Homo-oligomer: A and B are copies of this chain.
Amino acid sequence: MKHQDSLSELLGFELEETASGRALVRAEIRAEHLNQHGTAHGGFVFALADTALAVAANSHGPEAVAISASIHYTRPARVGDVLVAEAEEIARSARVASYRISVRAGTELVAAFMGTVSRRS
């Protein structure tokens, strides 16, 4: 159980495996991760995907910083669900790189995320 950063530790994110340009981050939804409707907070789901983005983008060496991201929520998630965010790199140049992240609970898609990072050489 390796934490990438302090927010990931606070939210219980675990890095499962990583390769160049790829990442898998998982978390179990607990009572403190909910929104007012009693389902996983959109910010929690986003943070999980964003962490997978950061891990994937920083796998290449030069510091990568997110500049924009978008998320489409497809299904609510509940306490006890284990979410897995899987990042894949879809493009990379010297200056920017883009990633698609899928967040799933089991085989069900919970959210689809895209993000672009600036790379500092």
Contacts and interface: CB of A to CB of B under 8 A. Distances in A.
Interface residues of A, number: 51
B69 A114 contact: no
Query: Chain A: interface secondary structure?
Result: mixed
Contacts of A58: 36
Q: Which of A9, A31, A71: most chain B Cβ within 10 A?
A: A71
A43 B51 contact: yes
Interface string A1-39: 000111111110000000000000000000111111100
Given A4-B36, A41-B50, 8 more contacts: A5-B35, A36-B54, A37-B63, A41-B51, A42-B66, A42-B69, A44-B47, A69-B70
